[in-house]
Every structure is written in structure tokens, then in C-alpha cells.
Amino acid sequence: MVAFGQLKPRHFRLIAMSLVLFYIYRTFNHSRFVDPGSDWVDSAEDLESSPNESSPNETDTPACVPNESDIPARVPNNYSFSSQVRYARESSHSVRHSRTLGTGALLVISLQRVESRRKQMDLLAKALDLDFTYINATDAQSSGPYGLPRVERIIDRVRWQRSRFDELDLEDTSITPGHNPTPSEDNPNYILDAFPFKWSKDALENLVDPTGHEIGISGSDYWTLELDRSVSGEGLKEAKAWEARHPMPVQWQNETWRKSRDARVNPAFVRNNLLSEKSQFLTLGGVACADSHIRAIREIIHRNLDSAIIFEDDIDIEFSIERILEHEWPYLPSTWDIVYLGHCWSSNEPFRPFLDPKASYVRKTEHTLCLHAHAISLRGAYKLARFLRSPDYAYSRPVDHMIKDLVQMNYLESYTFVPALVVQTKEDTSQIKVGEMNRAWKDLSGEWLVDSTLERIKMVQEGASL
């Protein structure tokens, strides 16, 4: 035994190293629902069993959770794969297992034509015993009310919005019809503040009490209203009347012009570089992605869900996600709008303090992108729906940038889980980004799970083939 006064520098280094290792252990050593070394499943065939399959004595919502003394040393092997997972979760929780992770719904934005992604999401749902509600994504590579015509119409309306002035704008005597921003003498190659901008009254007036008034129809809702209502046959008269009052230039329908550079629409950045060889434009895929997320947000409002988690369909999930959320969620303030369970390019979040000393994951959002997994409260959905349809803002840039900007402008109260509980697989080519960006995105963002559910599924499948 070494007396305190006899401690040498190497002793202090050993003590410091021990404390660091203990912190890492506390943060990342999540308790597992089943001992990984146990005979957990019989074969990969169990993965194909119905998520609702149960034993005669098992129900989806048991009257109570078994006491620890009642839990057998091993989950019965005659249970199906998903039933074993459900049994393990119900046996190891202090609360009843939730198939929606404690929220009103788990919404999955999914490209209907990419069957492999939906099959993978079905496997994740079975492995984690979760209920997914699929929302068919807006797809610029398909036809129909949520296909290419819708996306092209949105881009046309963004261009149209920037080329006109609202009646309120014309009340400003400094603005005259036909006026467009031009380069200044000091910056001949740049157009500063290129697009006139104003938030809609609807967004600002309902900011304090977002759910106090019905969402109604406003702003960019009219850009897609006719196509939306054509699905149910309702409201076409209203939509066509608005369209008649706000026509777009006839020449925009000329196919030669639509393929020209003049038809392209820039994202609404603060400044435009007239000489840049890397000019960026709104893309069909990016607008389709934004529209898909806006539709998912409106689904939360339509169903009056207290909250929901929105997933994209190219993800992997931390196996212990339910236990982690159960522990962390009570530390969130009741005023939260959005919580990122997955994210990318979040370089500052790991260095921000925890929301609470007892929380191991939740931090205040500073700069977070990507929307492959995020929770939205009902009040947050109302806020987002109103801001994202504000005509000067709607579809003006990638949707994750739009939401990130709203967070940084303090219009949304946002929190981030660090490390992420959901990551993008990046194994398939993104519908928005292509090339080496996929791999670089994952490497730079540190998007790796501690205990991958897809890896567990893979081990089960490989074990059955040995």
C-alpha cells in the first residue's frame, strides 16, 4: 500500500487512466437484453416468422412485467425469433415494452420501388419487435400524384415565387415591380441577398402557441394542393381557383427552355457567385426528399400524435435503443420540438455538455444534419409545417439544412443523441448524393453503432448456414 505522500507522477497517470476507462465503460457498455453467448435463436428461419406469432401463454401487452426471480436463465428456444426478443425485452424492463418506442408512431419514409430497403426495414422491425408505418416517398423517378410531375411543379413554383412580389412587398415604396437584386460595385461577381425574403405571418403568429389553431391551408400548400386533392377527389375547385389567380409563365412549359441553364433554380443561399463553376441547383431527388419529409410531418398533425419518430429506409439501429430511450427521455424538457436519434456532420455536439449530469447521451443541438432518424413532438410538427410552407422558404434548400437553420435561428427547440442510436447504412447509392460522398460521409461523421441490429441479424443468418 502506497501512502498518499509517496505517490509518484506515474501513480497519478494510472489513476487518471482508470477514471477515463470507467467513463468509457459507463457510456458505451449498454446492458444487453440477452447474453450474446447464449443459444439465442435456433435458425435464420425464425427471422421470417410473423412478428405477432406468440406462445399460448404470451401476449403482445402482458398485464405485468415478470419479477427478476421469475425470469428463467434462458429464453425458451421454442419461441420464434421475434417472440424471443419480445420476451427478453418485457422481462428486462421496468416498464411495458413499447412497439413504437414510447411515441405515437414510428413512420418510415420508404421508396416503394426499392424492395430491398423495405425488406431490410421489415427485418429490423422483427428483430426489435417494433411497428413501422410506411409512408411511400415522393419519387421523381415515378409517375402519379407523388411522382415526377409533382416534383417538377414544386421547382417551377420556387422559381415563380422568387420572380414575383407579394402584395405586402409592394406596400414598401422602396420596392418596385420588376426590380431584381444586382451585383454591387464592391462585389461585381456576387449578388448579395439575391432573393427577397419574408416569413409568412402564419408561421410567426403561431410560434408561441403552435397547436392553438388548426393548421389549415396556406403558402406552398397551394403549390401541390391540386395533385394532393386529386387522390381523394376533394377540394379541386379551391385548388384550381388559386391556380387561375396565380399562373406561371407559358414559356416555362417549353421543353427546350426547361432543359436550359435558365430553367435551373439555385438553393436560397445568402449570396450567389456569378463566376462559380460549382454552381448548385435544386435537384429532383432533393426536392422529392424534402416533400417526403413534409408529408410525414403532416401525418403527425393529421393523426394528432403526441410525438413520432421518422426513419428513412436505409438505416441500422442500435440494438439497445429502447432501453436507452427509456433512460434518457425523462431528461428532455416538455417543450422539445425535435430530437435527433441519428445525424451527420455534427462536429460540435460531442463537445457540448450533457442535458443532465445523469443523462449519458442527450445534448443541445448546435449543428446537426441528416434526417434518417429523428423524433418530432406535436408542437414541433405544427411549427415545422408552418415554417416549411412559408413561400420564400419552402423547398429552397435541402430539407435537413432547412430544419438545421430553423434550429440555429431558435425557432425550434432541438436535442441530439451522441453517440447516434441510428445510422445510415450507406451501402446503396443515395437517391440524393452519389459517388464517393457516401463513404466519406460515414467516415467523417463517425457513424458507427456499438451494437448493430443488422450485424446481429447477419450473425443469426450465417450461423444457420454453418
- Domain positions in the chain are 95-140+285-465, 148-282
Give 191 or 200, the one with higher predicted confidence.
200
Interval 354-381: pLDDT, tens: 888 888 899 999 888 899 999 999 999 9
* pLDDT for 383 beyond 80: yes
pLDDT tier at 289, thresholds 50, 70, 90: very high
pLDDT of residue 192: 62
Q: Which residue has the higher pLDDT, 80 or 10?
A: 10
What pTM was computed for the model?
0.74
pLDDT at 466 over 50: no
pLDDT for residue 162:
80
Mean pLDDT in residue range 418-441: 62
The pLDDT, as a whole number, for residue 69 is: 38
Whether residue 88 is predicted with pLDDT greater than 90 in this model: the reply is no
pLDDT at 54: 37
Q: What average pLDDT does the structure give for the chain? A: 75
Q: Which position has the grid cell 457498455?
A: 29
In angstroms, the CA 222 to CA 77 distance is 56
Question: 331 or 75, which is more confident?
Answer: 331
Query: Phi and psi of 363, rounded to 5°?
Result: -135, 160
17-74 pLDDT tens trace: 665 455 545 544 443 333 333 333 333 444 444 444 433 333 333 333 333 333 333 4
Residue whose entry in the numeric block shows the C-alpha cell 392553438: 212
| Candidate CATH numbers 3.40.190, 1.20.1300, 3.90.10, 3.90.550; the one for domain 95-140+285-465 | 3.90.550
317-321, 331-335, 438-442, 444-448: lowest mean pLDDT where? 438-442
pLDDT computed for residue 67 by the predictor: 39
Cβ atoms of residues 92 and 65 within 8 Å: no
Q: Which residue has the higher pLDDT, 114 or 66?
A: 114
**Side chain identity at 13, as an amino acid letter?**
R
Given a cut of 80, whether residue 317 has pLDDT beyond it is: yes
DSSP string, 331-384: GS-TT--EEESS-BS--SGGGSPBSSTT-SSEEE-SS-B--SEEEEEHHHHHHH
Q: Is the peptide bond before 419 cis (omega within 30 degrees of 0)?
A: yes
Burial-class residue 102 by CB neighbours within 10 Å (0-12, 13-18, 19+): middle
What is the Cα–Cα distance from 2 to 189, expressed in whole angstroms? 71
117-137 pLDDT tens trace: 999 999 999 999 999 999 999
pLDDT for 144: 81
In the numeric block, the cell 420501388 is attached to 113
- What the block records as the C-alpha cell of 444 is 467523417
Is pLDDT above 80 for 418? yes
pLDDT of residue 449: 82
